[in-house]
């Protein structure tokens, strides 16, 4: 296995071989593990439940992917997972709070614990995956906790590379797949309006999950990335309504966007939060009060040598599953 050492001749890092990944079973995590194994890394995936990650072993050669038990709340297990690793990647994150799984505990405290133990263990490289819109003064607890996590990581591991991806898209995403499921049930889909005149909704810059996985690898390989922050967005800025209509086009279904004022949406979300896996929360709505796009002048995919993949190249492959059998290919959008 070649690991990062193959990049030395090109002026890249000479870090070799073993990378510990926290959060490797998630949507982004599985793409990161696959990307790392293809590049020749040995991958150690730190999991609370190792049985949940058995499928990751098939992404590499025999013995290339190892699973270790670790709880991000426990210093000893995090330290053990970091021991002997050349690099650490933190992908741990949640979209809503539940019980002890709070934003502060997962995005801030766990990130600080991972970074501190990585530093104590002599790990040379770290990539902390945050989120586009992370802001200590942000309107949502999610955005504030992500920003606090960045600060906590940099305090103990100043050379860590911070990546802030936008909304991730790909076969297992929770974004366009959600639109596909909604359109399969009804043509009437809400657009959360921020004012009486708003018919478009929040702006997004969806980014292909494979591009983000590659960005993470490059964050490890290139010494110039150390201590830097990158905002990762796709080639298009799209409103919520444009995303809906794109989903309708790909699924060949009728879509009738229905503007819903934020006040009404928050009332609905109050009751949805009772569900074990809420479709919508008030904190998510607070995040949607501002556009989720790359900051002008911020370093991004291009600075990592990556050309952003257009949505048109990835959506058809997985959105077709939401088409009615025998549906005429004529686009039925309003």
For 96-124, write each residue's pLDDT tens digit.
Answer: 999 999 999 999 999 999 999 999 999 99
- 334 is a domain residue: no
pLDDT of residue 16: 53
Are 215 and 304 in contact by the 8 Å Cβ rule? The answer is yes
Say yes or no: 10 and 154 in one domain. yes
Average pLDDT over residues 256-276: 94
Q: What is the mean pLDDT of the chain?
A: 93
User: Is 48 within the bounds of a domain?
Assistant: yes
Are 101 and 46 in a shared domain? yes
Q: How confident is the model at residue 326 (pLDDT cuts 50, 70, 90)?
A: low
Domain count for the chain, please give it. Answer: 2
3-state helix, strand, coil in the chain (%, to 5): 45, 15, 40
Confidence (pLDDT) at 2? 40
265 and 226 inside one domain: no
Q: Which domain, by its residues, includes 156?
A: 3-168+206-232
Query: Is residue 136 located within the same domain as residue 240?
Result: no
Instruction: Provide mean pLDDT across the span 269-275.
Output: 93
Tell me, yes or no, whether 332 lies in a domain: no
- Domain-located, residue 299: no
Residue 252 Cα distances to 27, 177, 248, angstroms: 26, 14, 6
Domain match, 212 and 199 both: no
Residues 100 and 183 in one domain: no
Question: pLDDT tens, 60-90?
Answer: 999 999 999 999 999 999 999 999 999 999 9
Cα–Cα distance between 13 and 6 in angstroms, integer?
9
Residues 124 and 255 in one domain: no
Are 126 and 246 within one domain? no
Same domain, 34 and 77: yes
Based on the fold, state whether residues 189 and 315 are members of the same structural domain.
Answer: yes
Tokens of 291: 């556009």
Helices (H), 71-166: 75-82, 103, 110-120, 141-156
Q: Do 217 and 152 share a domain, yes or no?
A: yes
pLDDT at 327: 54
Q: Which domain-ending residue is among 232, 248, 277?
A: 232
DSSP 277-314: S-S--HHHHHHTTS-B-PPTT---GGGGT-PPPPGGGT
Res 328 pLDDT > 80: no
Residue 184 lies in a domain: yes
């Amino acid at each position: 296995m070649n690991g990062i050492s193959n990049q030395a001749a090109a002026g890249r890092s000479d870090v070799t071989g073993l990378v510990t990944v926290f959060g490797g079973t998630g949507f982004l995590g599985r793409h990161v593990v696959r990307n790392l194994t293809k590049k020749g890394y040995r991958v150690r995936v730190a999991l609370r439940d190792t049985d949940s990650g058995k499928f990751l072993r098939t992404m590499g050669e025999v013995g290339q992917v190892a699973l270790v038990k670790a709880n991000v709340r426990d210093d000893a297990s995090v330290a053990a997972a970091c021991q002997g690793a050349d690099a650490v990647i933190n992908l741990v994150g949640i979209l809503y709070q539940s019980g002890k799984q709070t934003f502060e505990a997962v995005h801030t405290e766990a990130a600080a614990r991972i970074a501190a133990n990585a530093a104590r263990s002599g790990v040379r490289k770290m990539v902390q995956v945050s989120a586009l819109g992370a802001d200590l003064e942000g309107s949502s607890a999610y955005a504030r906790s992500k920003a606090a996590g960045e600060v906590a990581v940099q305090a103990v591991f100043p050379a860590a590379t911070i990546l802030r991806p936008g909304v991730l898209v790909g076969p297992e995403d929770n974004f366009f797949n959600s639109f596909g499921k909604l359109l399969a049930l009804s043509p009437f889909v809400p657009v959360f309006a921020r004012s009486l005149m708003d018919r478009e909704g929040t702006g997004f810059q969806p980014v292909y999950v494979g591009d983000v996985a590659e960005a993470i690898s490059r964050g490890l390989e290139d010494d110039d990335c150390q201590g830097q922050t990158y905002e990762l967005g796709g080639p298009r800025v799209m409103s919520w309504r444009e995303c809906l209509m794109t989903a309708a086009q790909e699924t060949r279904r009728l879509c009738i966007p229905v503007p819903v004022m934020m006040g009404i949406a928050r009332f609905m979300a109050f009751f949805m939060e009772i569900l074990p896996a809420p479709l919508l929360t008030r904190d998510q709505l607070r995040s949607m009060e501002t556009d989720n796009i790359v900051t002008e002048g911020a370093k991004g995919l291009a600075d990592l040598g990556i050309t952003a993949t257009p949505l048109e190249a990835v959506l058809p492959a997985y959105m077709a599953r939401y088409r009615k059998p025998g549906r005429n290919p004529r686009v039925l959008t309003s």
